């Protein structure tokens, strides 16, 4: 039997991919094929599926994977998903921030003059909740590409985005105005799997805590 007791795990591609593979190596899984094959997505022999981090909760909720690893930002944006968050894995640390062009705060000025500020983000639900919780009226503009471009062209007053180092913001003349939350990689589970395969999942959690 595999070191993860036959469980299927959804693995995130992108920035979380290398540390996730290191984690899986620590559990005793052979990740050499994942490291050497960029195009293959399903590794049935070791019970791993690779995908975009934002898709991990979809596969776990549907039961196509028993466990998954993704960022806290994804879980916050998809808070309606019927999944269990089991552990903070500690890697992939980023901050969700409000940022705008350097100088006088354009968002604060828009709020003062118009009573509403325009915010660009890839995380509309997180942004909406944040500004509602702080009693500010916002118009959310959802973008898919480089969100830093939006305030530079005058499309919006500020952005809500995830930053690891702040370098991209700085290079584009943006500064952090507010810090919303810290996000790290999390282990999530399908509720049915968590009930029916609790022994296997508990075993994985014990291995994680012992590393």
How do residues 125-155 score in pLDDT, each as one tens digit? 999 999 999 999 999 999 999 999 999 999 9
Q: What is the pLDDT of residue 1?
A: 58
| Distance (Å, whole) CA 210 – CA 204 | 10
Percent share of the chain, pLDDT over 70: 100
Query: In order of start, what are the domains of the chain with their CATH numbers?
Result: 9-92+184-210 (3.40.190.10), 94-182 (3.40.190.10)
| Distance (Å, whole) CA 58 – CA 63 | 9
Average pLDDT of the segment spanning 65-80: 97
| Distance (Å, whole) CA 143 – CA 9 | 30
Q: What is the pLDDT of residue 134?
A: 93
How do residues 144-199 score in pLDDT, each as one tens digit? 999 999 999 999 999 999 999 999 999 999 999 999 999 999 999 999 999 999 99
Statement: residue 205 has pLDDT above 80: yes
How do residues 24-45 score in pLDDT, each as one tens digit? 999 888 899 999 988 888 898 8
Beginning with the edge strand found earlier in the chain, give each strand of the sheet holding 94-101 in spatial order.
138-142, 117-121, 158-163, 94-101, 174-183
């Amino acid at each position: 039997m595999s070191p993860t007791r036959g469980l299927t795990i959804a693995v995130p591609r992108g920035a979380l991919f290398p540390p996730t593979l290191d984690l899986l190596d620590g559990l005793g899984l052979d990740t050499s094929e994942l490291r050497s094959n960029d195009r293959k997505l399903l590794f049935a022999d070791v019970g791993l599926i690779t995908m975009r981090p934002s898709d991990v909760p979809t596969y776990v909720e549907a039961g196509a994977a028993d466990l998954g690893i993704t960022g806290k930002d994804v879980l916050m944006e998809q808070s309606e998903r019927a999944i269990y968050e089991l552990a903070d894995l500690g890697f992939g640390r980023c901050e969700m921030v409000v940022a705008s062009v350097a100088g006088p705060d354009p968002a604060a000025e828009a709020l003062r003059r118009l009573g509403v500020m325009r915010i660009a983000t890839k995380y509309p639900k997180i942004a909406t909740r944040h500004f509602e919780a702080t009693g500010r009226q916002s118009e959310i503009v959802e973008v898919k590409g480089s969100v830093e471009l939006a305030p530079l062209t005058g499309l919006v007053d500020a952005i809500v985005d995830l930053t690891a180092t702040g370098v991209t913001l700085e290079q584009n003349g943006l500064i952090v105005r507010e810090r919303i939350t810290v996000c790290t990689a999390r282990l999530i589970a399908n509720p049915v799997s968590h009930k029916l395969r609790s022994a296997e999942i508990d075993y994985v959690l014990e291995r994680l805590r012992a590393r």
